[in-house]
Structure 1
Amino acid sequence: MKTMTIKQRILLLTILPLVFAISTIMFLIHSELSALGDEQVQDIRSSMMKEKRVILENYVDIAITSVQGVVASGSFDDPVIKAQVARQLRDILFGAKKDGYMFVYDYDGINIVMGPKPELEGKNLYALKDSDGVNVIKELISSAKDGGGFLQYSWNKPSKNANAPKLGFVRGIEQYKWMVGTGFYIDDIDDAVTLARLEIDKRIQRAMMLIAVVGLVLIVLVGFISLFVTVRITKPIQDTVLALNNISHGEGDLTKRLTVYANDEVGQVSISFNQFVEKIHNLVLEIKSSVGDLSRSTQQMNLVVISTNENVVKQKDETMHAASAVHEMAATAEDVAGNASRAAEAAQQADTETASGQIIVEDTIVSISQLSEDVNRATDVINQLSDDAEQIGDVINVIKGIADQTNLLALNAAIEAARAGELGRGFSVVADEVRTLANRTQKSTEEINHMIELLLGRVKEAVGVMNNSSTQGKNTVAQAQKASDSLKTIMVAVSTITNMNTQIATAAEEQTVVTDEISKNVQQVADIAEDSSTKALELEKTSAELIALENRLAAVVNQFKV
């Protein structure tokens, strides 16, 4: 059954019950006709037997009636009258061949009349039995005494020279105590019944043959109808199978639809299949459209990743340059601190010399000249310090520009990472850290710039004071008499210079600390830039894998015809 097709199963389920039904009907009809035939044969037998019985009874009644006048005319014991009655009964013959006769027995079983066998007359046959063991004479006498009756027995039939079934009827003549009767051989009834049975069997056979032919025609007709219906049923199913095979193994054509032949279960299957294919068709269209959008987004993201990678590399290079500049600025700050320390020592020495000058006036001119030279040198140093401070300001501006550019690049990187979604999440965190460090660097450079501006202001003041000191030193040479007052002025100026040099040294030391912090921050920025470069390369690799995945998805979608 598992290997049979639906068509074979439907034909089998249609024809087998029909064959079984026709066979059952034929069996039932045959049984019923046979039963009816048996009843008809039995009716024929009964009818013929009834007819025989009526004839026999009529013959006996006619015979007795014919002798009733003679019997009534004389004495019951008159032998002449008995002889006349016997003779009259012996002369009664009937049948087409006149082979029918009357037989007479007295109640003792002595034969009085025996038509074709007169030699039996006078003999006592009371104990006579037929071939079946029936005591014929005794039973007939008993029936006569009871008012008459029938008896079936076997008796020799001359035409056959053999025993044959015979039906006898007797009545009694009570005046003489005689039993008068006659009989028919009834084997002709069996022959007639046999012929009737054969005729009925022939009719039953013809009827069964007709039913078989009609059943065969009905089976063929139902087979053709079933085949037609089966084709109508299996055709949509075959179309569905072909469509599914085309989708799974063929061209993947999703534009084809099944023809709905009827609104039955198979038609509903076709409708559901068409709806399913329509849904798959729309889904493939959406996937194809999404693949196109994904391809464009992937290409755009790849360009962004490449650009970001280039910017990260550029940021890395600029950060390295900034780190070098910060290191140079730190070295310059150390030089400034050294010069400031030496200037403070010189100012202290000048103060000592000024105090000595008050004691030794005669050495005032020499000391003041030396002081003037020292002041000139200090002026040069301070001017150099001013130039260095301005250079530090330029470096700070460069660092500030780098921090601004780093902040802008980090902001762009965060935006692009946000566009990249989950894949750019890690890169977005790195970009935020870079932007935070850039803001801190920018803030530190602004503080350093402010300090340098203060330093430049103090340096300018120191330059002015030193210039005044130089002028006063020159005037002191000419105005030695005013040495005491000038020395006091110089002491005040030198004290001021000492304080300023101390402030310059302190500012330079603070600048060194800040520069070291900036150097560390710049190094962190460089490390972050290095990590960002690595992440950018990974993102570029992921973008390439995403493009390959998009290409495979597009290849799968292109297998279907939409």
Structure 2
Amino acid sequence: MFSKLKFAHKVNLVAAVLLVLALSILTIRNYNAVKHEVHQNLSHGITEIATSVSGNIANWLNGKLSIVKSIAQSTDANADEDRIFDIVVQADTSGDFKNAYVGVEATGQFILDDPSIQLPPTFDARQRPWYSQVKKERLASFTQPYVDVTINQLLISAVAPIEKNGQFIGVAGGDILLDEIANIINDIEFLGLGYAYLVTDEGKILSHPDSQYVDKTTRDLLGFSPALTSEFIDVDESNQIVSFIPVKGISSVNWYLGVVLDQDKAYAPLAEARNDALIFGLISVILTIVLLNVVLTQLLRPVNQLSDAIKDISEGEGDLTKRLEVNSQDEIGELSRHFNGFIDTIHQSMIQVQSVSELLNMHIGQVRDSATNGIEMAEQQLACGTHVSASVTELTSSAREISANAATASGLTSSMQEHSQASVEVLGDNIESIDKLKGIMVESSVEIEKLSEETQNIGNILDVIKGVSAQTNLLALNAAIEAARAGEAGRGFSVVADEVRQLAQRTQDATQEIESMIENLQQGSETVVASMTENQRNSETSVELAHLAGDKMQQVIAALGDVDRENHSVASATEQQVNVIHSIDEDILQLMDLNQQGVTNLQQTTAACEDLQTAYQGLNELVSQFKV
């Protein structure tokens, strides 16, 4: 786009851009300087006003605290209720408190300046938070702001300890409505740029021109919790800036004066300076472009005349005998002389081009005839090569088919070897399992023989038990006979002897049953031992037969390996033949490709000759346009 502009327009555009850039830098620098100055003046003025307001608030509250201290100083341990009442009434009048009062340590009594306020009989001043605060700190101070439920307004209490000779007697206090502080703050206009409100260090709003924000937080007012700093903070949603000035000089109170300013009004001088700079810059750019355009028109008039002369030469009949007139010694005259020299050079070159082009036309015809003859011979060679390549391709297919069949046979043989080897492995596993089974059967036979021996030992023990039970039965019979002889005196002994005899009989019967079962167990053990022995002989026979089968399978695997090697030899030899035939085919194809490439090159040469012929005609027409 820029390249299509005229030289004068380019100069105007570049000058305008440079001027705009310079004016922009100057404007931005001045804008920042003015902005800094406005910000400093605004910050200084607001700080002075806020400091003055905070000083007034501090003096006003400290005056209230001094009156509360005077209540404490005027009250002693011996003062009765009426005396204390008169003191708090006088303090309320002079300090304009909402209420003034005294809490007595000894009785918990709460003496209030307004007797119309009825308190519960159980009300104890010592249980109130403000009383506990003073008793603990023993210092005159202010309480945290709180809402009085009777009037639904924020207030604070100024409290002071009552002490005599180091003894704590009670607490004096006065309630202060924060509406009075709000009135002090609202009376300040802050240069007509905004307003102020009172806030605690925890962000709680104590006073605000809009009462709905009283007892709310700065987050509720601004939408976020700002840092309580004297630096200006932007409030984007309302186009405002806010600053927080600490209220100093009040003990036990950490309050800040939040100053809210309308950003447009506060920075109005800055916006005015910016607008003036933009208007001045626009006017400067327009005047510069107009003046520069007038000057360039005068300076470029000779150049335009030279351009018209060159246009006449270029758009005429191509007369290279024409020359420009040189009427000056300045840069324009130098340019005309150099242009005439350039035309002389072109004139001589065109004469040489005309001579060379005629010679070129003659050689193009000769090259074209030779290329046509070469194409005809190359096409005959290409037909012979195609026939030979087809024969070689058939031979290659046959050899590859033989090789594929040999490879298939080799694959089948390898597969049979693998299956046979797998069968040998399975057979080996069976032999190993039979061997393990044989060992287990031998161990089982040994254990069963041990069991037979143990049952024999149990039979011997049962023989002893039978002997003991027979003797016991005989002794019981003898005892019964002796008891019968004794008559009535041995009757009880006869009963016992009979019981013993019956017990011995039952023992003998049980022993016979156990003996019968042991005999059955011994017979079963002998049968199992015989069966295990027969199975052991059978397993040995199975192992021998399995080993014989394994040897036969190994012989089969060896035979298959020989067959596989023969197949590999056949496949390898056939593959070598295929490779040789393929190599011959590739050589023939390469010869055909070279022949085809030669034909293509000759065709391209012919086409190039045609192009050269066309180019010669165009060159001849171009040269004929010039008058040489």
Alignment TM-score, normalising by the size of structure 1: 0.34
For the pair shown, the structure with the greater C-alpha radius of gyration is: 1
* Highest RCO, 1 vs 2 (Cα 8 Å, sep ≥ 6): 1
Alignment TM-score, normalising by the size of structure 2: 0.31
